[in-house]
Structure 1
Amino acid sequence: MSLLNQIIAAVFTVLIGLVSGTIYIMSDSSKSMLLNQLESHSQDTATHLGLYMAPYIAEQDSAAIETIVNAIFDSGYYEKIQVTNFDGDDLFTALRSPEISEDVPQWFIKLIAFNTPNIEIEVTHSWAKVGFIVVKSRAGYAYEELWKGTQTTLIWFITLSLICVMFLSTLIRWILRPLKSIEKQALALSNREYIEVTNIPKTKELRSVVMTMNSMIKRVHTMFDEQSKNIEELRRTAYIDELTGLANSRSTNAQLSDKLDNRDDEGPCSLLYLHISDLTALNEQLGQENANNLIKQVADKLSAIGENHLGSLIGRLSGSDLVLLIPEPDRETLTREVDTLLDSYQELFSFYHPDSNQDTPIHIAIVSSNQDITAAQILSVARIGIDEAIKDSAASVYKTLSTAESESTLADWKAHVASSINAKQLFLQYQEVRATNSEDIIQKELLVRILSQAGEPCAAVRFIRIVKELGLIAALDKVVLEHAINHLHNHTDSAPLAVNISQNTLHTGSFEQWLIDTIKGKNIAGKLNIEMNESSVLNDIDRVVTFKQLLSKHDIGFGVDNFGVHPRGFSYLYKIHPNYIKIDGSLCKEIHQNAEDRFFLSSLVTAANSLSIPSYAERVEHSEQIQQLQKLGVVATQGFIHGQPKNLL
């Protein structure tokens, strides 16, 4: 029972007790008053009869006495009138049974129990005693009057009580309004969500509770922010180049390897490999400070190009080498951007070295690929391109690692991809996410495939660029989700499924309503998880928060993929509070070999655990990694160590 109802019940109980006591006192008082009234009435009647009938009693005229008594008795207010002579002989007796109206309930009669007295007077005539008159009033009259009074009192009590209860309910609700906020705050706190109550109540006790809760939450929030700052500082020390602010060599190599090695969902990409020739001579010509400023501005301009391409990766491989990986670039746009970049570098070099007539010592190799390629392969080709550019004194050189396709073949493939999505003819596989301390399957992450014209499943690298070109990414995500929902509904013993959706899908206006309509009537509670990568989450945090709240209402989980590599840090966890995070594979690749990686990953997991957010690690390939991850508090792993992707039946 709620506090409000308890207070109302308590007040109502007190009112009932108060009114019950009042009714009892009033009834007892009324009973005494009525008894006195009946006694007085009987006394008056007997006195008047004695004065009037004295001659008749003296003469023992029974006929006259009967006439007079009946005239009085027939009024109905008397139960008994008896006239006797002085010797006690009965001259006349009028008697009726003690009738009580049927309107008066028996329990009330038994509760009140009137005992009306017999009033007896002595009759004298001519100074001689001639007889006696006994009068007893009818008790039924008293019961009826008292019952009517009690009924009226009860009706007024019930009416006034209802009015009072409604008034009290409204008043108490208004007084206890802050308790709703406190309850919401406490429930959020139990879920490791920290919200402050802004409407501070004026009631002293409630105000004290709210202020205390707010103070505690502020301290927790401050502690989390400080923890985030410390971990971010650790990340900068371990993975960020101090001069340029870009990913350092170790981080860049790890991220390139993670994106390109053993991955089939990246699609076509281009690598811009920037090399500054003879950095030692440049330091001597410009001075170390100017040379550092030049390198910093070179990195900033390259980074500006990366900001124009969603999902790009930029880093510093060495003192003189920078790389920028761009997914699915447009060749003409990229060429134009590189030409503009080289012109700006020439102006920049002229600014720092105005007396020199030589060209800028900056060379760029652009390597484009639309096929599977490892990080080592694409870097090797890029370095060869740099050597050629230096040898030929060229500012840039282009290299292509592509499988040639005729225009007709490409057009046919585009049509086939579009047709497969529109017809919902997809082939789904999954990769298991297993607990680190057992072989239990925590979830299965779905991988989408499209069957080729020959009926062979094609990896995402072959069609993802086309899907985006055709604007079908949201349609693709919907088809995958629909398959997942139907599978879970038809296979109630299935492990939970995880589906990764794109940022574009979330921004499709009708997506949320489509999802609600699709899951309606489906038995999938607690079995479906939707994931978004960290970059997409950070691009629109408010929208993601709203989306996560919608998923929670329908018992659908939400996870953050590729967690821990975005330069903006992870303080957003406090606001979004996902159901789990998947730590990016680049952070786990050398976890069993590098103490610095272990320390950083341990800090990430600790921060997530402080919000009760479980941590999973993705792209795990060695048992040594699992052992270290388990020690660090990671609860589950995903990767080829658990086997190749399997078909979703």
Structure 2
Amino acid sequence: MTLFKQMALVVSFIIVLVLATVMIINYNNAKKDMIQSLYQTTVNNIATLTDKLAQTDGEEAEIQSVVDAAFDSGYYKMILFQSDTINYKQIDDSLPEGVPEWFIKFTNIKLKPISADVTSGWSIIGKVSVIGDSGVVYKGLYKIFQQLFYLFIVSVSGSLILINIILHFVLKPLKKVQEQAEAILKNEFIIQKELPFTTEFKDVVNGMNAMVLKVEDIFNKGNEAIQKNRELLYKDPVTKLFNRRYLMLKLLDLIQQNNSISGGSSLFVSLNSIEELTKHLGHQKTNDFLLQFAQELNNVTKKFQEKLIARVNATDFTLILPECDSDVANDIAKKINKKWEELSKNNNINQEYSFINIGIYRYKPTDTIASLMTNTDNALAKAIAKENGNTYFFEAKDNKSAMGKEEWRELLEDAIKHNRFHLIFRKTINFQSKQIQHKVLSFTMQDKNKKEYLYGDFIAPAINLNMVSEIYISILQDLFTNPHKDTKESLISINLSSEFIKDPNAFEQLSMLLQKYHKTIPFQLCFEISDTFTIKNLALVKNFTKLFSKYNFQFGLNSFTGESQDFHYLKELHPIFLKSDTSYLLDQSDNLMNALQVVTDSLGIVIIASFVKEKEELQKLEEKHITTIQGPIVDQLL
């Protein structure tokens, strides 16, 4: 219960108690006064009645007449005349008109009879006893009760409204304190600028502001340290491009990522001699020339968001362009040649002595790093050997036995219709405690003949056929509606592919699915998105994270390679984990790793090493304070 509700409840109780006490006292006083007034009236009336009875000289008929007349006057509830020979009584047992029975029982007025002797001369002719008419008291008290009740309701309502307004005003700063505290729990950095006037609240806000500033300062220093160390470790100091070290870490992820044309193009651009440039321009101008050339490489490939350009040695540049087909790759090579000619002309460089060669290889997702590098290098060698021209393009022939587009469409549609996808859950664990942190969903597909297709086999055709969203929605619906033993009391993480996120219909379809099933999902849910894709499509990914947050689902980033120039995007997205290839994490220097962990710790993010294969890697990861892993080795540890 909130402080506001507690205070409102206590104050309201006190107000109600005080007002109720006042009302009860007023009611009881009124009751006492009215009964006393009735008693005095009855005493006065009985004196008059005895005088009239005394004048009857004991005649029974006259006595009855006097008693009846007095009773009909309405002042009495009961009149009893008793003598040696006469016993005459008049009594009214009817309930007072206009007064509810429950009020009569509640009030319960009991009047004692008042008696007096009736004398004629010196002789007593009888005794009369009367009880005043309590109906008058009941009616009067009921009217007073109604007035007091209405006054009580109005007073209580007015008081509660006033107290509510006052408490809202007094505790308004506390609401912001609460919001700031909740933000801190979510690792959000919010500074409250409006300080409350209440001293205690002001001290709390100042303390929380100081804590937030301190944590944010830690984050900023860690962010700066990462950038500096990353520049030293993975950037070429002359061209500001990535170096060979980063290329080899990132290459496999770029080759295997899902894209709409099943692969991409790699280009090796080789300068024949750096010495000739230096001889003509000098060392500093040569560096400036190479920097300009690197900028031109970025310019001619700017439409490729997932690209990677690296200077692998003094004379060679590598361009990895996912989703780049052969025609576009050849066109880029022409533009690179043209830019080189322009730069050479502007710097008065003789192209007979200083020139470039370009080898192009059209790779597929099935390529390995070795095959890509070998084939591109062979293309470059043939470009160098050509007598006419300086560019050579190579593309491996397609497998003629592979299925055609319509065959894949039929197979995928059948799998979706008959739910022929098999869900697989791979564990992510803390290798020290052996506790399962979450399970990552993967899936395979079967055709009607039970032939199994791995994810990598069918996802590229699915992308070409624009069926990725249909597959994912089908998988999620199966996960949400059908019981799976691996999901019991678990956090299930689902890796959403870049193609799914980019599909304009995916957001609406996923939103409808989550809205329909979010209350009945019997396990915790988390979604993963590629870090590289997130950096390039931050606004799009933020829309999805808001959707996840709406239903209290969690979010994480995978394929993390520290590509961003600034890690403030992590503050905006609030992922619960960063998954990174083990080879990348182990390649980090101690300074860079420490800086990264400062950033993640300040945001409450867990670093997870993926693709862990060997036990020897565990000790190295532990030395870098990484204890959460996933990969082939997990099953050996459990």
Range into which the TM-score falls when normalised by the shorter chain: 0.7 to 0.9
Confirm or deny: 8 A CA contact 1:124 1:130 kept in the other structure. yes
Is 1:600 the counterpart of 2:592? The answer is: yes
Q: Say if 1:600 and 1:459 are closer, same or farther in 2 by CA, change over 3 A.
A: farther
Q: Say if 1:133 and 1:478 are closer, same or farther in 2 by CA, change over 3 A.
A: closer
Q: Say if 1:617 and 1:113 are closer, same or farther in 2 by CA, change over 3 A.
A: same
Number of the residue aligned with 2:44: 44
Task: Read off the aligned partner of 1:37 and give its amino acid letter.
Answer: S
Is 1:613 the counterpart of 2:611? The answer is: no
Mapping of 1:37-186 within 5 angstroms?
Answer: 37-49=37-49, 56=55, 64=62, 67-78=65-76, 95=89, 99=93, 101=95, 114-115=110-111, 118=114, 136-138=130-132, 140-141=134-135, 143-153=137-147, 155-157=149-151, 159-160=153-154, 163-164=157-158, 167=161, 171=165, 175=169, 182-186=177-181
Confirm or deny: 8 A CA contact 1:474 1:502 kept in the other structure. no
1:217, CA displacement in angstroms? 3.9
CA displacement, residues 504-560 of structure 1 (integer Å, 9 cap, x when unaligned): 422434424433555645964435543211122123323323322323444544321
Higher mean Cα deviation, 552-561 or 521-530? 521-530
Q: Say if 1:449 and 1:490 are closer, same or farther in 2 by CA, change over 3 A.
A: closer
1:491, CA displacement in angstroms? 5.7
Confirm or deny: 8 A CA contact 1:249 1:318 kept in the other structure. yes
In 1, Cα distance between equivalents of 2:612 and 2:569: 25
In 1, Cα distance between equivalents of 2:414 and 2:81: 113
Task: Read off the aligned partner of 1:350 and give its amino acid letter.
Answer: K
Number of the residue aligned with 1:25: 25
Higher mean Cα deviation, 327-336 or 625-634? 625-634
1:273, CA displacement in angstroms? 1.4
1:348, CA displacement in angstroms? 0.6
Task: Read off the aligned partner of 2:580 and give its amino acid letter.
Answer: I
Aligned with residue 580 of structure 2, among 583, 593, 609: 583
Aligned with residue 402 of structure 1, among 385, 396, 401: 396
Q: Say if 1:255 and 1:4 are closer, same or farther in 2 by CA, change over 3 A.
A: closer
1:250, CA displacement in angstroms? 1.9
Mapping of 1:168-247 within 5 angstroms?
Answer: 171=165, 175=169, 182-195=177-190, 213=208, 216-247=211-242
Q: Say if 1:302 and 1:484 are closer, same or farther in 2 by CA, change over 3 A.
A: farther
Confirm or deny: 8 A CA contact 2:116 2:127 kept in the other structure. yes
Number of the residue aligned with 1:566: 563
In 2, Cα distance between equivalents of 1:208 and 1:435: 40
Is 1:303 the counterpart of 2:317? The answer is: no
Number of the residue aligned with 1:647: none
Task: Read off the aligned partner of 2:538 and give its amino acid letter.
Answer: I
Mapping of 1:490-569 within 5 angstroms?
Answer: 492-493=487-488, 497-515=492-510, 517-518=512-513, 520=516, 524-526=521-523, 528-554=525-551, 556-569=553-566
Number of the residue aligned with 1:342: 337
Higher mean Cα deviation, 191-200 or 229-238? 191-200
Q: Say if 1:599 and 1:483 are closer, same or farther in 2 by CA, change over 3 A.
A: farther
CA displacement, residues 427-469 of structure 1 (integer Å, 9 cap, x when unaligned): 7666553432255554454555567999865666666554444
What is the TM-score when the length of structure 2 is the normalising length? 0.81
Aligned with residue 614 of structure 2, among 615, 622, 629: 622
Unaligned runs of 5+ residues in structure 2 are none
1:66, CA displacement in angstroms? 5.2
In 1, Cα distance between equivalents of 2:69 and 2:235: 120
1:332, CA displacement in angstroms? 1.0
Residue 603 of structure 2 aligns to a residue whose secondary structure is coil
In 2, Cα distance between equivalents of 1:340 and 1:568: 27
CA displacement, residues 308-341 of structure 1 (integer Å, 9 cap, x when unaligned): 2232222121222221112242111111111111
Residue 268 of structure 2 aligns to a residue whose secondary structure is strand
CA displacement, residues 55-95 of structure 1 (integer Å, 9 cap, x when unaligned): x37x66676555434422343423666889xxxx8797765
Unaligned runs of 5+ residues in structure 1 are 645-649
Residue 630 of structure 1 aligns to a residue whose secondary structure is helix
In 2, Cα distance between equivalents of 1:50 and 1:445: 104
Confirm or deny: 8 A CA contact 1:270 1:368 kept in the other structure. yes
Task: Read off the aligned partner of 2:567 and give its amino acid letter.
Answer: F
Q: Say if 1:580 and 1:18 are closer, same or farther in 2 by CA, change over 3 A.
A: same
Q: Say if 1:71 and 1:641 are closer, same or farther in 2 by CA, change over 3 A.
A: closer
Number of the residue aligned with 2:406: 415
Task: Read off the aligned partner of 2:268 and give its amino acid letter.
Answer: Y
Task: Read off the aligned partner of 2:364 and give its amino acid letter.
Answer: N
Q: Say if 1:203 and 1:495 are closer, same or farther in 2 by CA, change over 3 A.
A: closer
Confirm or deny: 8 A CA contact 2:196 2:202 kept in the other structure. yes
Q: Say if 1:619 and 1:24 are closer, same or farther in 2 by CA, change over 3 A.
A: closer
In 2, Cα distance between equivalents of 1:174 and 1:160: 21
Confirm or deny: 8 A CA contact 1:559 1:579 kept in the other structure. yes
1:307, CA displacement in angstroms? 3.0
Aligned length: 625
Task: Read off the aligned partner of 1:320 and give its amino acid letter.
Answer: T
The percent of aligned pairs where both chains have the same amino acid is 21
Task: Read off the aligned partner of 1:31 and give its amino acid letter.
Answer: K
Task: Read off the aligned partner of 2:27 and give its amino acid letter.
Answer: S
Task: Read off the aligned partner of 1:422 and give its amino acid letter.
Answer: E
Q: Say if 1:181 and 1:547 are closer, same or farther in 2 by CA, change over 3 A.
A: farther
Calculate the aligned-residue CA RMSD, in Å: 4.4
In 2, Cα distance between equivalents of 1:41 and 1:429: 96
In 2, Cα distance between equivalents of 1:638 and 1:454: 33
Residue 562 of structure 2 aligns to a residue whose secondary structure is coil
Number of the residue aligned with 2:245: 250
In 1, Cα distance between equivalents of 2:17 and 2:424: 71
Aligned with residue 629 of structure 2, among 597, 612, 637: 637
Higher mean Cα deviation, 613-622 or 62-71? 62-71
Task: Read off the aligned partner of 1:68 and give its amino acid letter.
Answer: V
Residue 333 of structure 1 aligns to a residue whose secondary structure is helix
Confirm or deny: 8 A CA contact 2:612 2:630 kept in the other structure. yes
Q: Say if 1:623 and 1:597 are closer, same or farther in 2 by CA, change over 3 A.
A: farther
In 1, Cα distance between equivalents of 2:253 and 2:507: 32
Mapping of 1:281-296 within 5 angstroms?
Answer: 281-296=276-291
